[in-house]
């Protein structure tokens, strides 16, 4: 990109830094005083989990490449891997400091004001100490395995993300050893927090961290020695799984083998209590092979995600979002089954506003229908104990031909998917692990039904996973249809996944890694050409992430030609908006609110004949070229208009919208004087919760 004075390095944002900006937007939800108290705390916990994964995957990958001397040329943003890691460290340290300021200065005081206390060790009275000592001796001490550090007990291999203490000791043990240091790991089998009974804790709700109990009674672990002090620390490791799929004869067994090593990957971050002496910090850095930039001194409890235990312990509805009632899909009049309904019309599901039960009920009906011959489904993140899986098992028991494409490499769900695959195989279901070198990320369900001596395909295509729990939290679209062209295309995709044939020509589906990227480029160029001819031209694209150089350049070119482009990008965004002569026709917004925006929707004005696609794919290099993805057209005008109305609502949001600035920061939109507040998610909850799914 060298046109009009713009170079590669200033036309694109860095992927890792853009992702950190998203995590920052999540964290800043905890500042929102309009949210219930424990929901604010939940955003802190989500941020902590997000940051863990960021280090495990993104930072871990960069560190691994550097260590292997596999440094690639600078990316589109112009930053080398070393420069990226340095910038990541600076920004991540600032975010962690901000996280603890929010918790220490705002949330903890507010919890106390609401009679929810998390007692520090120096606050315990005699009765509480007596109670906690008994708890320690009966419930904690038997589970501890302290490790004294000496030549016979070298520094242990610290488990990924486990909470530990580095203990400074004085004196000799029964064998005359006096190394002066020990490691104590907090057992993962224990809850993070316990609640004191009212007669001990006092009025209100009183909690204590299990780690605080261990800390207080540390001297009882090292009998006869003096515990000078102990300090919490936590190590994060590279948790990506590497598989040489070409060399793996059995992918299931290969994934199972790699899972064992996930907890012991290379070290990428060390969190340590800020009270820890420099001497012990240096000792940990040396033993953990951590660089100074990767050390995070923590002003408070190490690993704030432990606070999520409160969500199970405190059930008072005043501290949470008001529960919403999902729309329970109802079949159209005179339709007594999904098959008869879908012969007449398509059905759109918008989760979580519409219940996922429609998909489960459709599967259950297919499992018992004598005319259904076969069911094929992709499973990316589902869980082994799922009503979707139960329906597939029921179908297999009923004699249907059932095929499941199980993606074993769905990150951090590998273990569940291995168990899922083994369960499905026990019931005679054909289990396929996708394609070597390509993750199967498409969300597809195909039911083949015999009708009047012919096969008819009934299809569900979605932007999100077949996971009932996430459909309560993620916004996604699902299309149920018996459209012949779509059905035959989906059949061809399943055939491609299960066989070794060449890619089939599709009637209307765009299909990665074959036609999706080209299809998106072609449509962006059509908008550019229409704008140049003075015809109506507009693009609205909603996705989780945008990081693909050619698509970004095509958007720049379309914007320069006069196309109005609105991008709704929740997370990573490579594109730099609002730059004169380059992207002044492009606005990028991110919606961060109660629900996780997850749907992928692409709208093209097309000279007054709009095209609308929903997809399982983001505009990312991996989705376009290294995954199996589907992008499906919305043909029905009423359904198309409904989704466009949703998109326009997101573009009006001035409550949970963040606007990307040309310098890479985000500006939080808020209603200006006299301006009506527009909360898109709240409006959708109100709009769809009471709606009954009748005609479309």
CA distance 537 to 586: 13
CA distance 425 to 406: 11
Q: What are the backbone angles phi and psi of residue 176, rounded to the nearest 5°?
A: 85, 10
CA distance 554 to 559: 9
Q: What SS3 state is found at 448?
A: strand
Alpha-carbon Rg for the chain in angstroms: 27
Tokens of 271: 């969190």
CA distance 134 to 197: 14
Query: In the 8-state DSSP scheme, what is residue 78?
Result: S
Cα separation values, 626 from 38, 127, 179, 512, 543, Å: 39, 60, 51, 8, 18
Query: In the 8-state DSSP scheme, what is residue 136?
Result: I
CA distance 635 to 482: 12
Pick the catalytic residue from 23, 192, 215, 441: 441
Alpha helices in 369-500 (DSSP H): 387-397, 414-426, 484-498
User: Using an 8 Å Cβ cutoff, are 481 and 398 in contact?
Assistant: no
CA distance 227 to 224: 10
By CB atoms closer than 10 A (0-12, 13-18, 19+), residue 685 is buried
Task: List the Cα angle 324/329/332 in 5-degree steps.
Answer: 145
User: Using an 8 Å Cβ cutoff, are 380 and 456 in contact?
Assistant: no
User: Using an 8 Å Cβ cutoff, are 434 and 278 in contact?
Assistant: no
CA distance 84 to 65: 13
Tokens of 612: 């609308």
Residues 6+ positions from 55 with CB-CB distance below 8 Å: 236, 268, 269
Does 598 show up as a binding residue in the annotation? yes
CA distance 535 to 522: 17
Residues 6+ positions from 145 with CB-CB distance below 8 Å: 185
Task: List the Cα angle 237/238/239 in 5-degree steps.
Answer: 100
Does 351 show up as a binding residue in the annotation? no
User: Using an 8 Å Cβ cutoff, are 382 and 372 in contact?
Assistant: no
Q: What are the backbone angles phi and psi of residue 103, rounded to the nearest 5°?
A: -70, -50
Q: What SS3 state is found at 124?
A: coil
Residues 6+ positions from 417 with CB-CB distance below 8 Å: 379, 381, 382, 406, 407, 408, 410
Residues 6+ positions from 332 with CB-CB distance below 8 Å: 341, 344, 345, 694, 695
Tokens of 221: 């672990």
Whether 441 is catalytic: yes
Tokens of 148: 């004294």
Tokens of 216: 């207080």
Does 381 show up as a binding residue in the annotation? yes
Task: List the Cα angle 92/93/99 in 5-degree steps.
Answer: 85
Cα separation values, 551 from 516, 525, 547, 577, 632, Å: 11, 10, 8, 14, 19
User: Using an 8 Å Cβ cutoff, are 149 and 168 in contact?
Assistant: no
Query: In the 8-state DSSP scheme, what is residue 498?
Result: H
Q: From the CB of residue 422, how many other CB atoms can be counted at a distance below 10 Å? A: 14
CA distance 575 to 583: 9
Per DSSP (E only), the strands in 287-346 are 295-298
Which sequence positions are flagged as catalytic?
441
Show binding-site residues: 50, 381, 411, 474, 570, 598
Residues placed in the known binding site for Mg(2+): 381, 411
């Amino acid at each position: 990109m060298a046109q009009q004075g713009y170079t590669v390095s200033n036309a694109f944002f860095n992927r890792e830094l853009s992702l950190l900006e998203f995590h920052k937007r999540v964290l800043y939800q905890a500042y929102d005083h309009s949210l219930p108290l424990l929901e604010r705390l939940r955003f802190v916990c989500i941020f902590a989990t997000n940051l863990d994964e960021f280090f495990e995957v993104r930072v871990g990958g960069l560190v691994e490449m550097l260590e292997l001397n596999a440094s690639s040329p600078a990316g589109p943003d112009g930053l080398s891997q070393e420069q990226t890691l340095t910038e990541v460290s600076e920004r991540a340290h600032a975010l962690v400091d901000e996280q603890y300021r929010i918790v220490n200065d705002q949330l903890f005081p507010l919890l106390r004001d609401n009679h929810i206390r998390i007692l520090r060790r120096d606050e315990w009275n005699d009765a509480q100490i007596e109670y906690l000592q008994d708890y320690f001796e009966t419930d904690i001490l038997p589970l501890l395995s302290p490790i004294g550090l000496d030549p016979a007990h070298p520094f242990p291999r610290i488990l990924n993300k486990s909470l530990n203490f580095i203990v400074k000791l004085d004196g000799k043990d029964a064998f005359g050893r006096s190394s002066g240091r020990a490691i104590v790991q907090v057992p993962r089998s224990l809850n993070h927090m316990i609640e004191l009974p009212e007669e001990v804790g006092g009025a209100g709700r009183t909690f204590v961290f299990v780690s605080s109990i261990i800390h207080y009674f540390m001297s009882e672990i090292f009998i006869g020695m003096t515990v000078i002090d102990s300090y919490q620390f936590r190590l994060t490791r590279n948790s990506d799984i590497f598989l040489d799929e070409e060399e793996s004869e059995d992918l299931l067994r290969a994934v199972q083998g790699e899972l064992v090593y996930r907890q012991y990957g290379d070290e990428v971050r060390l969190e340590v209590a800020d009270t820890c002496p420099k001497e012990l910090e240096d000792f940990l850095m040396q033993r953990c092979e951590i660089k100074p930039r990767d050390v995070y001194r923590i002003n408070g409890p190490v690993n704030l995600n432990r606070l999520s235990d409160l969500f199970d312990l405190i059930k008072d509805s005043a501290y949470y979002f008001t529960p919403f009632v999902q729309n329970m899909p109802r079949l159209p009049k005179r339709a007594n089954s999904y098959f008869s309904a879908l012969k007449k019309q398509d059905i759109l599901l918008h989760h979580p506003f519409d219940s996922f039960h429609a998909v489960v009920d459709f599967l259950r009906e297919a499992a018992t229908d004598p005319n259904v011959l076969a069911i094929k489904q992709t499973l990316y993140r589902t869980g082994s104990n799922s009503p979707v899986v139960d329906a597939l098992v029921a179908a297999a028991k009923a004699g249907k031909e059932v095929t499941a494409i199980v993606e074993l490499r769905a990150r951090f769900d590998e273990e569940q998917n291995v168990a899922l695959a083994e369960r499905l195989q026990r019931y005679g279901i054909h289990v396929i692990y996708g394609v070597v070198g390509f993750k199967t990320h498409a969300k597809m369900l195909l039911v083949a039904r015999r009708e009047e001596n012919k096969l008819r395909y009934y299809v569900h295509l979605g932007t999100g996973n077949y996971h009932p729990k996430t459909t309560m939290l993620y916004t996604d679209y699902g299309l149920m249809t018996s459209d012949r062209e779509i059905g035959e295309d989906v059949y061809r995709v399943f055939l491609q996944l299960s066989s070794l044939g060449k890619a089939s020509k599709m009637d209307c589906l765009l299909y990665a890694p074959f036609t999706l990227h080209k299809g998106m480029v072609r449509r962006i160029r059509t908008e550019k050409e229409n704008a140049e001819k003075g015809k109506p031209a507009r693009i609205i694209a909603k996705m989780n992430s945008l990081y693909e150089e050619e698509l970004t350049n095509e958007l720049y070119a379309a914007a320069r030609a006069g196309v109005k482009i609105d991008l709704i990008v929740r997370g990573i965004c490579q594109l730099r908006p609002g730059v004169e002569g380059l992207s002044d026709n492009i606005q990028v917004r991110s919606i961060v609110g109660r629900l996780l925006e997850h749907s992928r929707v692409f709208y093209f004005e097309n000279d007054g004949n709009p095209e609308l696609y929903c997809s399982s794919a983001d505009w990312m290099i991996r989705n376009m070229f290294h995954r199996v993805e589907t992008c499906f057209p919305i043909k029905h005008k009423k359904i198309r208009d409904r989704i466009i109305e949703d998109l326009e609502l997101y573009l009006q949001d001035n409550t949970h919208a963040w606007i990307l600035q040309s310098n890479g920061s985000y500006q939080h939109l808020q209603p200006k004087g006299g301006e009506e507040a527009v909360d898109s998610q709240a409006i959708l909850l109100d709009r769809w919760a009471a709606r009954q799914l009748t005609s479309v």
